[in-house]
Structure 1
Amino acid sequence: MGVPGEFPYDAGIHPAGYTTRLWTMRQLAGLCTAESTNARFTYLLEMGESGLSLAFDLPTQLGLDPDDPAALGEVGRTGVSVATVDDLARVFDGIPLDRVSVSFTINATAPMLLAMWIVLAEETGVPPAALRGTLQNEMLKEFLARKAYVYDLPTSLRYALDVMEHCLRELPGVNPVSVSGGHAREAGADAALEVACALASVDEYLGGMVARGHAAEAVAARFSFIFGTDMELLKEAAKLRVARRRYAERMRDRWGARDPRALKLRTQVNTFGSALAYQEPLNNIVRATVQAVAAVLGGTQSLHVCSFDEAAQTPGPLGARIALRTQQILAEETDLARYADPLGGSHVIEALVEEVGGEVDEWLARIEARGGMAACVRSGWLEGEIEELAFRDPGPTVGVRNPAPSPSESALLAAERHTVTGGSRDVHRPPWGPELDRLRADAAAGRNVLPAMVEAVRVRATIGQLCTALRPAGPVPSPTSSSRESDERASR
């Protein structure tokens, strides 16, 4: 077992653990409109939350304006609708951007939301360099697991690298990517493949940035990660130890990193929504607590705990408050934060670390033998492996035998209200002007699109206009036939 704060950081990246610095309590929120999301953020901050995490609706994730016919029925359903910088201004109304860390759960349209964040900071008197937070900006896992992409894989990766490059140059407090294994896990991967997907993705992103002339060590120092925790409490805690150890070793041996900032894996952990059940929803409080304990014992830097009602709806105020209070109770009313490495020296943990670590190494070898992460996504092989694993996982088993409830009248009315609000919303588009022409030209010429994107956002270009300007000619291909089949299943 390692020593907290010392290479390879399996025992934690801080010498004192949580005894001097608690994890960030960062509950994900995004509710239909900018105003309702602002109200939820204000509520969570008043309840003691220490960081914000913003979720966007599907049209925003896919670069569709809310009055686009393709967005009908989806506006505001899975998060907040943001079409222009003015929408983002309403989300953060009264919230000091230079004093609150914000995580943006956005990927395909990460360049657009980053540009809006920068312009919003400027217009509220905050120097963009003072912004703190993280952009998810993780396109490999989108093609592998979530499927919320706008452009083909090479184009998507290019714009993700543009975001990383701009943050390295201009935004010292912003982590430009949150490399994810957790989404593959939610799709069906096991704990070892979850870690392997994240580590293999690191090589793809670092390779792209090194090809642009950046030092791998400088880029990696700004990486953050997303993992999840499931119900095998001790194995999940051990998994996070494995992730830190393997990452540190690979950064040292493969990329020549020596700066501790580039060797330390910093992670946000989300308790898994796939572990929740809509039947007997109060049982989910227990499930989420077990997973939160696993994350804390595993040494996470930031934590989101699922709400008990999340399997059935967007979390309500009660569910959001209980999820936050779960974190606060663990931090303040238990002894979990009193020891730097509470699992250090455990023979059970050591055995689990060896077991999971060996499986991670096997997955990494298989991925590398097939050409790396991007090649495995393109071929469909990795998605097939995840689907096979998904069939073996029974999911929640206690209290889930009740039949599915029919939608309540209030739920149907809420859905109808979202549809009507989104479909009739008036987005005042500026004419296609020189700012958008410059953005289109930079995209076509292969230049970093962020400077022109910021200029276009200043004149109130919409997310739909921005996405259109970046779109290469021709349709967006699905990476594999397997991916198309997955999309069809998801739509059903």
Structure 2
Amino acid sequence: MAGVPGQFPYDAGIHPTGYTSRLWTMRQLAGLQSATSTNERFKYLLDMGETGLSLAFDLPTQLGLDPDAPLADGEVGGTGVSIADVDDLGAVFAGIPLDQVSVSFTINATAPMLLAMWIVVAEEQGVDPAELRGTLQNEMLKEFLARKAFIYDLPTSVRYALDVIEYCVRELPRVNPVSVSGGHAREAGADAALEVACALGSVDEYLRGMTERGYSAQEVAARFSFIFGTDMELLKEAAKLRVARRRYAERMRDRWGATDPRAMKLRTQVNTFGSALAYQEPLNNIVRATVQAIAAVLGGTQSLHVCSFDEAVQTPGPLGARIALRTQQIIAEETDLARYVDPLGGSLVIEQLVEELGAEVDEWLRRIDDRGGMAECIRTGWLEGEIDELAYQDPGPTVGVRHTAPSDSERRLLLAERHTALGSRRDVKRLPWGPELDRLRADAAAGRNVMPALIEAVRARATIGQLCEAMRPSAGQGTENPRTAE
């Protein structure tokens, strides 16, 4: 039976008034090669009515490589903004008061470094870091499971993710320090039930780590956010979010002893699925993204990113980004979806889907628990194998899709607004290795929380490559500094 909005187990929504009093946050992902072009895109989207910023980074930044590192060649600015040091991030937010806008950072392996830079940029804007609002993805379990953009081994990577969570719980009351993801496993091939199970299983790993540090599960979980996606089965995807909320609330109460509603309410960002897009007949992607966006709204998301029609081949151009944002605004303002607190409540179809999906989620969670939890399932490769098997069962987009190269007209449409990526390496001015990096290296080697030392090194203008090198598990061994040993 459907629940009541705002009441445990929150399957009908975490707020009693739904969208009737407050819409979801419209947060379009952006990150364009250079800091200057990204700043321009952010201001463009804000002028168009976006209500939250979401920042994407290029692969070198995600992997802790300075843009002049040999391994960065050809990738600088290719999938998002290139950030070498705090001045680059400062340029991204030039003229954008950080105490007045919520920012989501799509960053994982280098989340500690980017958090330190965000804090220093705020300080240099005259903003108290405690006033920062937003979310760090900081989700290393799904990186090892699905995306593979990691720098260190799994235990070290999770340890640094926990450092970020701990620092935010202590110092940054308005920042969500982790966005627990099921959506990335889904993009890799998982089905809807396994998508939910991956997220809930990961919650247990992060909470175990934080309770071992002396924090209560309730205190930490109140700061969690989530990432799910929506695909083309509109009603099933809406039902999936109801299942996720119900199972999370029940597990927080029954497994972790939570009594605070904030620790039992699953707050989620939904991204429409890029894997559902096709480069052939690209304007069809507008329809696909709209269907997925409606599923997210019917499912009760708190924040939404809608894929651009050109996203199958490139970082969204201005036209694609505007249409994606306008899609959200049309749903919010020109339809009646936001006029009802729980428009799907009482639907027999939805209740049937919730029951079926819930049983599948429970079975996946049982199998994960039986194998020692998410980290162990990732370490052994079992879960990745299950996802690979499921991936072969998904046909992907079918309408208008041909097994041929795009036509000249399709290429022109897709590439009409494409910016030229920086691509090649750009020179970086490095901080001479000194006490700030020595302290960071010592704290990393000793197992202390690295965030205070990171912030100190970022203030001194250490580059992301230097920061990552100082934090390597082997960096504290021997007598030579990594930089002077070159």
TM-score between the two structures when normalised by the length of structure 1: 0.94
- Contact conserved, 1:267 with 1:300, CA < 8 A, in 2? yes
Q: Confirm or deny that 1:287 pairs with 2:288.
A: yes
Deviation at 1:404, TM superposition (A): 2.1
Deviation at 1:426, TM superposition (A): 1.9
What is residue 418 of structure 1 aligned with on the other side? 422
What is residue 179 of structure 1 aligned with on the other side? 180
Residue correspondence of structure 1 range 120-269 to structure 2 within 5 A: 120-269=121-270
What is residue 29 of structure 1 aligned with on the other side? 30
Deviation at 1:413, TM superposition (A): 13
Q: 1:56 and 1:175 mapped to 2: Cα distance?
A: 19
Residue correspondence of structure 1 range 236-385 to structure 2 within 5 A: 236-385=237-386
* Other structure's SS at 2:28 match: strand
**Structure 1 residues 473 and 406 mapped into 2: Cα distance closer, same or farther (>3 Å)?**
farther
What is residue 49 of structure 1 aligned with on the other side? 50
What is residue 447 of structure 2 aligned with on the other side? 446
* Other structure's SS at 2:104 match: strand
Deviation at 1:419, TM superposition (A): 2.1
* Other structure's SS at 1:227 match: strand
- Contact conserved, 2:231 with 2:237, CA < 8 A, in 1? yes
Task: Letter of the 1:452 partner, please give it.
Answer: A
Deviations 1:108-134 (A, max 9, x none): 000000000000000110000000000
* Other structure's SS at 1:103 match: strand
Q: 2:407 and 2:322 mapped to 1: Cα distance?
A: 26
Deviations 1:392-414 (A, max 9, x none): 00000000015123896996997
- Contact conserved, 2:78 with 2:421, CA < 8 A, in 1? no
What is residue 478 of structure 2 aligned with on the other side? none
**Structure 1 residues 416 and 22 mapped into 2: Cα distance closer, same or farther (>3 Å)?**
closer
- Contact conserved, 2:163 with 2:451, CA < 8 A, in 1? yes
Gaps of 5+ in 2: 476-486
Deviation at 1:171, TM superposition (A): 0.2
Q: 1:290 and 1:212 mapped to 2: Cα distance?
A: 43
Deviations 1:232-275 (A, max 9, x none): 00000000000000000000000000000000000000000000
Deviation at 1:288, TM superposition (A): 0.2
* Other structure's SS at 1:255 match: coil
Deviation at 1:61, TM superposition (A): 0.2
Task: Letter of the 1:175 partner, please give it.
Answer: N
- Contact conserved, 2:178 with 2:225, CA < 8 A, in 1? yes
- Contact conserved, 1:62 with 1:150, CA < 8 A, in 2? yes
* Other structure's SS at 1:54 match: strand
Deviations 1:364-409 (A, max 9, x none): 0000000000000000000000000000000000000151238969
Deviation at 1:472, TM superposition (A): 1.0
Task: Letter of the 1:157 partner, please give it.
Answer: V
Deviation at 1:418, TM superposition (A): 2.1
Q: 2:186 and 2:417 mapped to 1: Cα distance?
A: 33
Deviations 1:427-477 (A, max 9, x none): 110100100000000000000000000000000000000000000129xxx
* Other structure's SS at 2:130 match: helix
Task: Letter of the 2:422 partner, please give it.
Answer: H
* Other structure's SS at 2:108 match: coil
* Other structure's SS at 2:27 match: strand
Deviation at 1:312, TM superposition (A): 1.5
* Other structure's SS at 1:126 match: coil
CA RMSD of aligned residues (A): 1.5
Q: 2:258 and 2:264 mapped to 1: Cα distance?
A: 7
Gaps of 5+ in 1: 475-492
Deviation at 1:200, TM superposition (A): 0.2
Task: Letter of the 2:229 partner, please give it.
Answer: G
- Contact conserved, 2:77 with 2:421, CA < 8 A, in 1? no
- Contact conserved, 1:77 with 1:415, CA < 8 A, in 2? no
Size of the aligned set, in residue pairs, is: 471
Deviation at 1:167, TM superposition (A): 0.2
Deviation at 1:319, TM superposition (A): 0.4
* Other structure's SS at 1:53 match: strand
* Other structure's SS at 1:228 match: strand
Q: 1:412 and 1:143 mapped to 2: Cα distance?
A: 35
**Structure 1 residues 33 and 218 mapped into 2: Cα distance closer, same or farther (>3 Å)?**
same
Q: 1:207 and 1:105 mapped to 2: Cα distance?
A: 24
Q: 2:7 and 2:62 mapped to 1: Cα distance?
A: 39
* Other structure's SS at 1:419 match: coil
Q: Confirm or deny that 1:401 pairs with 2:402.
A: yes
Q: 1:102 and 1:448 mapped to 2: Cα distance?
A: 24
Q: 1:299 and 1:254 mapped to 2: Cα distance?
A: 25
Q: 2:170 and 2:297 mapped to 1: Cα distance?
A: 33
Q: 1:382 and 1:247 mapped to 2: Cα distance?
A: 20
- Contact conserved, 2:314 with 2:418, CA < 8 A, in 1? no
Q: 2:313 and 2:56 mapped to 1: Cα distance?
A: 17
- Contact conserved, 2:38 with 2:81, CA < 8 A, in 1? yes
Task: Letter of the 2:423 partner, please give it.
Answer: T
Q: 2:335 and 2:418 mapped to 1: Cα distance?
A: 39
Deviation at 1:313, TM superposition (A): 1.3
- Contact conserved, 2:253 with 2:259, CA < 8 A, in 1? yes
Q: 2:310 and 2:418 mapped to 1: Cα distance?
A: 16
* Other structure's SS at 1:418 match: coil
Q: Confirm or deny that 1:456 pairs with 2:444.
A: no
Deviation at 1:18, TM superposition (A): 0.2
**Structure 1 residues 55 and 413 mapped into 2: Cα distance closer, same or farther (>3 Å)?**
closer
**Structure 1 residues 218 and 67 mapped into 2: Cα distance closer, same or farther (>3 Å)?**
same
Task: Letter of the 1:56 partner, please give it.
Answer: F
- Contact conserved, 1:244 with 1:265, CA < 8 A, in 2? yes
Deviation at 1:163, TM superposition (A): 0.2
Task: Letter of the 1:183 partner, please give it.
Answer: H
- Contact conserved, 2:207 with 2:217, CA < 8 A, in 1? yes
Task: Letter of the 1:195 partner, please give it.
Answer: V
What is residue 428 of structure 2 aligned with on the other side? 427
TM-score between the two structures when normalised by the length of structure 2: 0.95
Task: Letter of the 2:133 partner, please give it.
Answer: R
